[in-house]
Structures are given as structure tokens and as C-alpha cells.
């Protein structure tokens, strides 16, 4: 990688699920220390036998520390699952949430820090430093926040819907559970949004991965006020999500499952939407919505593909300035 490929701009990325970690897996090599900030979704944080698990934040931490299991796009590579196996077979517990032993150690340490009075933001910083990550990683809020899926058999936490039921249930609605009087946007995130040159809404589910971040009181206003260029990357190609339940969730919220629907999810928040080359037919309709389309290959098979895609994205923005 030559110096010419380095991204000099200060970039903030909103991340959730597996879509954005796939992008960051290669894109991280473009950045110098402190030029990249990632804000992770905590809407699917989960209590596992009293241990605070933060799946989306951990996916970012493991990606940026080169430890992510890229076969699954969650967890740590070459991990064992002895604790979960012990719960299932030794103690006969009905365990459906799968968590590797090394993965569990991170969550255990996080819980230890939280019980000592640290905020989730500070606990994440401590873990980030222990993993020798040179970039900034923040959870979207320090407050309790949960994504709730209203299904044919009742309401349930996102993890229960996706892991226990494999996403096979009909979805009526997606809502967020939090106390508006105590849920707040950490000052450090407000500062990062203000200082950013470019803000990227990653190629994650716009309803359950990026949506919770935007729901945090004060986040949308801070995003709108930021002078940064705001770019979303579509997780939808044609009429289908690249992966996950984005299609079900978008339909439940009344959005068309298409790049146009993604643009509507982010109405008034973004300047550009990155869409796949096969979706060029949406170009004029996106412009009519005051969103400039950036057309490129958004399918990346390895870290080099994601690196080049992200560099071309940044380069396209530079040329439009």
C-alpha cells in the first residue's frame, strides 16, 4: 500500500451487524492512527448469564484487531466453545445463544469493568487499548437500549429473533426500547461528529443496525449539523438484501426493499448513497430525492476488495468537492 492510498480525511463510520465489519476488514489499512472512528450499535446487546455481551461493538473490535472470524463475520477466529458446551451438556441448560470462549472472556472483562462503575464507553476504550487498536471505537450510548422485533408469536429481543428463531418468523414491526429521560449521546461522539470530514453509514441493516444509532436522542440533530459529507452504503442490491433480515425489517417499517427504500430510511441525513453497478437504473430517482448516487461494485470477497471499494468511495467524494 503506497502513501498515495492513505485516507487523510477524518472519517466516522456507523457500524452494526456483519455488513460494516466486512467493509472495515480491508478499509482499516487505509487509515493512520486516530483518523478513523467507528460508532457501534448497542441495540442488540444481550445479557448472557449475567454477562454483558455487545455483539456489534465486539465485531468492530475483533475486526480492527485482526481477530475476527471471517467465516462467520462474528466472534474470534479459531475460538472454542467449551463454556457453551458445558452449559448445554453438563448442566442441561437450553442455551441457544452461541458465544466462543475467547469471545466470552472479552464480555466477562467488560462486565467486570461495568460493575466497577465504568461506563460502556470507558469500558470499550479500555478493551480497545488492550487489543492494541489504533483507532477510536465507541458504543452509540452508555444507556440501556434494546431493539425489539414484533413477530407472529409476540415481541422479542433482536438476538432472540435472529439467533434462537433464525429470523424465520413473520415481522410486524421493529421498535426500540429505552428510557428517553436517561438515554443520551456521549459527548465524545458529539465531538467526533462535529470534527469529521466524512461520515459513513455502513452497509448494515438500516432498520436494526444503523437505525438504533440514529434513534439515540440527539444523534440525528448532531448528524444534520455536522459539516461532514454524509454517505450511506446500500445493503440492498436490486430488491434483495446482501445478507440478513434487512428486507423483512424494511417491509415491516413501510419501506420499499431497494436502494430507493434505503435512501428513504436516511431521508435528510445523507448526501450520497453508494449503490451497486447493477442498480444504475435508480440513479435519476435518487437524484430526485436529493441524494447523489455513487455507482460501484459493493460486493467484496476479501480484504483487498473492501479496501479498494472504500478508497474509490473516498476518491469519488474528493472529486465532487
What are the mean pLDDT values of the chain's consecutive 10-residue runs (321 residues total)? 73 93 92 92 96 97 95 93 96 95 98 98 98 97 97 96 94 96 93 96 95 96 96 93 89 95 95 94 93 90 88 87 66
CB proximity list for 242: less than 8 A, separation 6 or greater: 19, 203, 235, 236, 298, 299
Residue 102 exposed, middle or buried by CB count within 10 Å (0-12, 13-18, 19+):
middle
CA distances from 266 to 69, 104, 277, 294 (A): 30, 34, 21, 15
Which of 80, 69, 134, 142 is CA-nearest to residue 105? 80
Contact 233, 310 (CB under 8 A): no
> What pLDDT sits at residue 321?
66
Q: What domains can be seen in the chain, in order of their start residue?
A: 3-145+179-320 (3.40.50.10680), 146-177 (no CATH)
Q: How far apart are CA 121 and CA 283, in angstroms?
A: 39
- Residue 187's Cβ-count burial label (10 Å; 0-12, 13-18, 19+) is exposed
Crossing angle for the helix pair 120-130 and 55-64, nearest 10 degrees?
Answer: 30
Cell of residue 91, nine digits: 448442566
Q: Distance (Å, rounded) from C-alpha 158 to C-alpha 167?
A: 9
For the record, the C-alpha cell of 291 comes out as 441524494
Q: Which residue has the cell 452494526?
A: 16
Grid cell of 280 as nine digits: 444504475
Going through the chain in order, the beta strands assigned E by DSSP cover: 11-15, 36-40, 46-48, 51-53, 136-139, 146-151, 154-157, 171-177, 198-201, 229-233, 236-237, 240-241, 272-275, 292-295
Residue 2's pLDDT is 47
The SS3 call for residue 255 is coil
**Grid cell 457453551 in the structure block, residue:** 84
| 8 Å CB contact between 199 and 14 | yes
Contact between 183 and 217 under an 8 Å Cβ cutoff? The reply is yes
The gap from C-alpha 17 to its chain's centroid, in whole angstroms, comes to 5
Amino acid at each position: 500500500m503506497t502513501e498515495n492510498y492513505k485516507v487523510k480525511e477524518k472519517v466516522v463510520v456507523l457500524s452494526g451487524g456483519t455488513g460494516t465489519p466486512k467493509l472495515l476488514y480491508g478499509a482499516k489499512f487505509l487509515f493512520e492512527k486516530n483518523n478513523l472512528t467507528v460508532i457501534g450499535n448497542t441495540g442488540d446487546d444481550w445479557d448472557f448469564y449475567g454477562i454483558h455481551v455487545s455483539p456489534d461493538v465486539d465485531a468492530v473490535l475483533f475486526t480492527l484487531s485482526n481477530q475476527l472470524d471471517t467465516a462467520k463475520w462474528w466472534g474470534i477466529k479459531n475460538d472454542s466453545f467449551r463454556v457453551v458446551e458445558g452449559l448445554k451438556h453438563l448442566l442441561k441448560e437450553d442455551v441457544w445463544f452461541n458465544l466462543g470462549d475467547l469471545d466470552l472472556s472479552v464480555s466477562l472483562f467488560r462486565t467486570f469493568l461495568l460493575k466497577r462503575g465504568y461506563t460502556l464507553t470507558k469500558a470499550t476504550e479500555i478493551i480497545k487499548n488492550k487489543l492494541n487498536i489504533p483507532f477510536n471505537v465507541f458504543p452509540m450510548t452508555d444507556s440501556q437500549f434494546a431493539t425489539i422485533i414484533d413477530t407472529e408469536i409476540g415481541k422479542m429481543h433482536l438476538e432472540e429473533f435472529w439467533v434462537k428463531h433464525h429470523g424465520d418468523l413473520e415481522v410486524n414491526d421493529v421498535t426500540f426500547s429505552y428510557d428517553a429521560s436517561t438515554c443520551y449521546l456521549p459527548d465524545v461522539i458529539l465531538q467526533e461528529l462535529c470534527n469529521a470530514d466524512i461520515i459513513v453509514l455502513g452497509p448494515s441493516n438500516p432498520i436494526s443496525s444503523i437505525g438504533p444509532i440514529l434513534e439515540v436522542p440527539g444523534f440525528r440533530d448532531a448528524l444534520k449539523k455536522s459539516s461532514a459529507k454524509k454517505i450511506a452504503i446500500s445493503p440492498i442490491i436490486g430488491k434483495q438484501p446482501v445478507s440478513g433480515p434487512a428486507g423483512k425489517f424494511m417491509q415491516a417499517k413501510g419501506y420499499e426493499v431497494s436502494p430507493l427504500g434505503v435512501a428513504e430510511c436516511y431521508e435528510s441525513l445523507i448526501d450520497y448513497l453508494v449503490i451497486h453497478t447493477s442498480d444504475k437504473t435508480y440513479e435519476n430517482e435518487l437524484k430526485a430525492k436529493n441524494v447523489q448516487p455513487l455507482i460501484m461494485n459493493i460486493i467484496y470477497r476479501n480484504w483487498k476488495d473492501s479496501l479498494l471499494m472504500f478508497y474509490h468511495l473516498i476518491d469519488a467524494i474528493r472529486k465532487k468537492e
